[in-house]
Amino acid sequence: MRVKVPLPKATKNFIQRGMRRLGYSVVPLSSPTSHEGHLRRLLKELSIDCVIDVGAHRGEFGTLLRSIGYRGEIISFEPSATIFPTLREQCKKDALWRVYPEALGAKPDQAQLKVFESSFFSSFLAPNEYGEREFSGEPVGSSQVSVRTLDSLFSEELSDIDKDRRIFLKIDTQGWDMEVLEGSHSSLPQIQALQVEASIRPIYEGAPGWKETISRLALEGYELSGLFPVAVDRRLRLVEFDCVAVRAKARIQ
C-alpha cells in the first residue's frame, strides 16, 4: 500500500528557496495553473481512456502522461527512422502503449522529412529566416517517409477503438499540426479533447499563426481549455504555446 506523507510547510519552503537559487521553480503536479495539472484534471474529468500521440519523438509526452497518473491506452506515431527505435524502447514494457513508425497528414502520400541537428525541429516544412536564425539552423539531411491520415488508421489498423472510447488527441509536428487535422474529419467526432502547438511567431515557411490555429479548432467544434508557453526567443518573446481544447459538447463524467 502506498501512503502519501505530506511535507511540513517549512520543508516545502526550504525546497522552494533552494530551487529558486538554482533558477527553477517547483510547481505541484496538481496545480491547475501548470500544464501537467491541467492535463491531469482534464483526462480524469473527461474519463479519457485512449490518447493518440502524433509526433511522439522519443516518447516524452507518453512518459508525462504516466507521471501524472494516466493509466489508459497510448497510441504514438513517430516517422523519423533515427528516433523511432528510442520511442519503441521507451514503451516496450508498457502493455498499453503501442507505437507506429508513421507520419500523419491530410492525405496518403510520400514526403521528405527535413532533419535538423536537434531532432526536435525536424519537420516537413522548411525553416523560415527567423526560425533558422533563432532555433534550428539549416537542415542537415532529409528522409522520405510515408504519410497516412488519422481517418484511414481509425478505419484500418485502429478499428479496435470502438465508438464508446474517450479519446484525447495530442499533435506536435513542427508546423504540420493543421495537416493532421485535415486528415481527421471522420475521426474527430470521437475525440473529446486535443492539444496542438500554436505559433505566435512561426518558425517554418507556410506554418499557420496562432489566430488561424485557434479559429480552426473552433470551426471543428472545440473550445479553449488551456494555453501553456512552450518557447521564447533570445529577446524573451513568446514563440509557441501548447493549446488544449475540449469539444464543445464533450460529456463530463
pLDDT in tens, 118-143: 888 889 999 999 999 988 778 788 88
State the pLDDT at residue 31: 61
pLDDT of residue 75: 94
**Rounded to two decimals, what is the model's pTM?**
0.85
| Residue 33 belongs to some domain of the structure | yes
Does 101 fall in a domain?
A: yes
Domain assignment present for 72:
yes
pLDDT at 25: 45
Mean pLDDT of 211-223: 96
Residue 83 lies in a domain: yes
- SS3 string, the chain, reads CCCCCCCCHHHHHHHHHHHHHCCCCCCCCCCCCCHHHHHHHHHHHCCCCEEEEECCCCCHHHHHHHHCCCCCEEEEECCCCCCHHHHHHHHCCCCCEEEECCEECCCCEEEEEEECCCHHHCECCCECHHHHHHHHCCCCEEEEEEEECHHHHHHCCCCCCCCCCCEEEEECCCCCHHHHHHCCCCCHHHEEEEEEEEECCCCECCCCCHHHHHHHHHHCCEEEEEEEEEEECCCCCEEEEEEEEEECCCCCC
Total domains, the chain? 1
191 part of a folded domain: yes
pLDDT in tens, 154-177: 888 777 676 778 999 999 999 999
Work out the average pLDDT over 184-195.
Answer: 93
- Average pLDDT taken over every residue of the chain: 86
Tens digit of each residue's pLDDT (9 = 90 or more) over 44-77: 999 999 999 999 999 999 999 999 999 999 999 9
- pLDDT, residue 33, reads 73
- pLDDT for 117 equals 81
In a domain, 9, yes or no: no
pLDDT band at 182 (very low <50, low <70, confident <90, very high): very high
Identify the pLDDT of residue 35: 96
Instruction: pLDDT band for 8, please (50, 70, 90 cuts).
Output: low
Q: What percent of the chain has pLDDT over 90?
A: 67
Q: What is the CATH number of the domain that holds 164?
A: 3.40.50.150
Structural domain harbouring 184: 29-106+149-247
- Is residue 16's pLDDT more than 60? no
Q: Is 131 contained in some domain?
A: no
Average pLDDT estimate for 192-208: 95
Q: In the predicted model, what is the mean pLDDT of residues 191-197? A: 96
Note whether residue 142 is domain-resident.
Answer: no
